[in-house]
């Protein structure tokens, strides 16, 4: 059996008097008032020093002018030496297309070009040959005219002989046989004269035809050389196009960046203009900060901007400048814009995208990616900003 300890009486505080309670309440209210006053003074000081000269938003996202890779010819895919998330530099081969068809087209275009050049040289040579034919036709005209002179002389002689025989035949001095012979000679001379005249006409027509052919041939080569002839130039253009198509079988990176959304596989036949991948230039990123319309009163191009990324937290601060304000709000260019003409609508504060460029050195030190969230704050007191008039 243990020894029980005697119970000690618990001291009881005497109740406070009413004056003490009122004093405690006054002190508590004074403390609360002091805290509220300090908060108000602090907010007022912050607004005067920072709030009135800065606007901020957490509705900001990283963007970039990405390069969409599309083949310019239709061909099967021979190789794809890159993959998603791979960094590439400008000029790297992204896709290699099968060049069997383009090589054949290039050989055909080169053969057509050579044929066009030879055809032009042949046309030039033909002009010389036609000039010789014109000279020959002129000589034929001279010969035909000489034959016409001879035929005319023979005709005149035969006519005189026939008239003389006819006069003598009336007195019986010429036999009938001699008269018949003179008549036949006159008829033959007349026929030869007609034939000589026809020969002159034919020679003149042949000369005109030769001159026409010469003029037509010279018109094909007039003012042209073997390199400036239209037919040769057209063949050269087809050759250049074939060479360009041959070069386009190798699709190269147009910018430095990261391969994204690769949509092509080996063996696939791609069509011209069909997107196969996207290159994101991560060294040339920008930020689109969506500010409320009431915050944009004093925002100007050129003002300094400080930004914080959710990726790195507040320990990494980016610096940039305002480079432009969008031409309209996001709602204005939405696929289904708001219809506010009905009358039963609720006014919603609109946001306008503000483009902010980033410091390239800071981007290299702390890389970002398209679509990441950012907090942006614009310094409205920046003296280096550009006015709208500029």
Same domain, residue pair 272 and 329: no
Last residue of a domain, one of 243, 265, 300: 243
Three-class secondary structure of residue 69 per DSSP:
strand
Q: How far from 253 is each of 33, 102, 185, 275, 359, CA to CA, in Å?
A: 66, 21, 97, 13, 24
Residue 387: pLDDT over 50: no
Contact 305, 54 (CB under 8 A): no
Helix H or strand E encompassing 234: helix 230-247
Same domain, residue pair 149 and 238: yes
Confidence of residue 353 (pLDDT cuts 50, 70, 90): very high
- In the sheet with 75-79, reading across from the earlier edge strand, the strands are 250-252, 93-97, 75-79, 269-270
Alpha-carbon distance of 327 to 129, in angstroms, equals 70
pLDDT for the residue numbered 33: 80
Rg of the chain over all Cα atoms, to the nearest angstrom = 52
From 86, 68, 209, select the one nearest 138 (Cα to Cα). 209
Same domain, residue pair 92 and 152: no
Residue 50: pLDDT over 50: yes
Residue 224 falls within a domain, yes or no? yes
Q: Where in the chain does DSSP place strands (E)?
A: 54-63, 67-69, 75-79, 87-88, 93-97, 250-252, 257-260, 269-270, 277-280, 286-292, 304-309, 317-325, 351-358, 373-379
Same domain, residue pair 185 and 223: yes
Q: What is the pLDDT of residues 212-244, one digit of tens each?
A: 877 777 777 777 777 888 888 999 999 999 999
Dihedral sign for Cα atoms in the order 372, 377, 383, 386: positive
CATH of the domain at 84: 2.40.50.100
Alpha-carbon distance of 165 to 65, in angstroms, equals 113
Mean pLDDT, the chain, integer: 83
Same domain, residue pair 120 and 227: yes
Dihedral sign for Cα atoms in the order 21, 22, 27, 30: positive
Tokens 């014109």, located at residue: 134
Alpha-carbon distance of 384 to 143, in angstroms, equals 97
Q: Which two tokens stand for residue 372?
A: 């990441």
Q: How far from 207 is each of 14, 125, 129, 213, CA to CA, in Å?
A: 149, 19, 14, 10
Residue 258 falls within a domain, yes or no? yes
| pLDDT > 90 fraction of the chain, expressed in percent and rounded | 43
Same domain, residue pair 140 and 213: yes
Same domain, residue pair 349 and 254: no
Phi first, then psi, for residue 242 (nearest 5°) are: -65, -40
Alpha-carbon distance of 147 to 200, in angstroms, equals 9
CATH of the domain at 368: 2.40.30.170
Q: Stretch 317-333: mean pLDDT, rounded? A: 87
Q: Which two tokens stand for residue 261?
A: 């959304």
Last residue of a domain, one of 243, 272, 305: 243
Q: What is the pLDDT of residues 253-263, one digit of tens each?
A: 999 999 999 99
CATH of the domain at 191: 1.10.287
Same domain, residue pair 169 and 199: yes
Residue 239 falls within a domain, yes or no? yes
User: In the 8-state DSSP scheme, what is residue 53?
Assistant: G
Q: Stretch 48-66: mean pLDDT, rounded? A: 81
Residue 45 falls within a domain, yes or no? no
Same domain, residue pair 333 and 238: no
* pLDDT top residue among 25 and 56: 56
Alpha-carbon distance of 216 to 210, in angstroms, equals 10
Same domain, residue pair 257 and 293: no
Dihedral sign for Cα atoms in the order 78, 81, 85, 89: negative
pLDDT for the residue numbered 95: 96
Same domain, residue pair 223 and 234: yes
Q: How far from 339 is each of 2, 293, 334, 342, 348, CA to CA, in Å?
A: 90, 19, 11, 7, 12
Dihedral sign for Cα atoms in the order 363, 364, 369, 370: positive
Same domain, residue pair 164 and 57: no
Residue 296: pLDDT over 70: yes
* pLDDT top residue among 228 and 325: 325
- Residue 204 belongs to domain spanning: 102-243
- Our count of domains for the chain comes to 3
pLDDT for the residue numbered 152: 86
């Amino acid at each position: 059996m243990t020894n029980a300890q005697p119970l000690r009486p618990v001291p009881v505080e005497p109740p406070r008097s009413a004056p003490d309670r009122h004093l405690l309440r006054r002190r508590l209210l004074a403390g609360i008032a002091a805290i509220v006053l300090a908060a108000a003074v602090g907010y007022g000081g912050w607004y005067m020093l920072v709030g009135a000269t800065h606007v901020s938003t957490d509705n900001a996202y990283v963007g970039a002018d990405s390069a969409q890779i599309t083949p310019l010819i239709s061909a099967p895919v021979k190789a794809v030496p890159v993959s998603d998330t791979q960094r590439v530099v400008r000029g790297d081969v992204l896709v290699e297309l099968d060049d069997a068809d383009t090589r054949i087209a290039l050989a055909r275009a080169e053969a057509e070009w050579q044929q066009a050049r030879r055809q032009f040289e042949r046309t030039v040579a033909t002009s010389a040959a036609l000039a010789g034919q014109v000279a020959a036709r002129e000589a034929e005209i001279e010969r035909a005219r000489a034959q016409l002179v001879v035929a005319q002389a023979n005709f005149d002689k035969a006519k005189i002989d026939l008239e003389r025989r006819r006069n003598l035949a009336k007195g019986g001095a010429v036999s009938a046989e001699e008269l018949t012979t003179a008549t036949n000679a006159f008829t033959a001379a007349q026929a030869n004269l007609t034939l000589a005249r026809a020969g002159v006409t034919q020679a003149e027509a042949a000369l005109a035809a030769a001159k026409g052919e010469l003029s037509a041939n010279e018109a094909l080569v007039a003012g042209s050389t073997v390199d400036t002839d239209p037919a040769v130039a057209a063949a050269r253009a087809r050759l250049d196009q074939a060479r360009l198509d041959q070069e386009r079988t190798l699709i190269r990176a147009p910018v430095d960046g990261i391969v994204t959304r690769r949509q092509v596989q080996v063996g696939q036949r791609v069509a011209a203009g069909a997107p196969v991948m996207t290159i994101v230039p991560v060294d040339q990123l920008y930020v689109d900060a969506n500010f409320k319309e009431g915050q944009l009163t004093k925002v100007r191009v050129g003002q300094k901007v400080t930004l914080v990324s959710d990726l790195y937290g507040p320990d990494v601060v980016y610096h940039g400048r305002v480079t432009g304000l969008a031409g309209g709000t996001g709602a204005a260019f939405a696929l289904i814009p708001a219809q506010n003409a009905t009358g039963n609508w609720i006014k919603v504060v609109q946001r306008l995208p503000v483009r902010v460029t980033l410091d390239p050195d800071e981007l290299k030190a702390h890389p970002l990616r398209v679509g990441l969230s950012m907090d942006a704050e614009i310094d409205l007191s920046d003296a280096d900003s550009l006015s709208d008039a500029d």
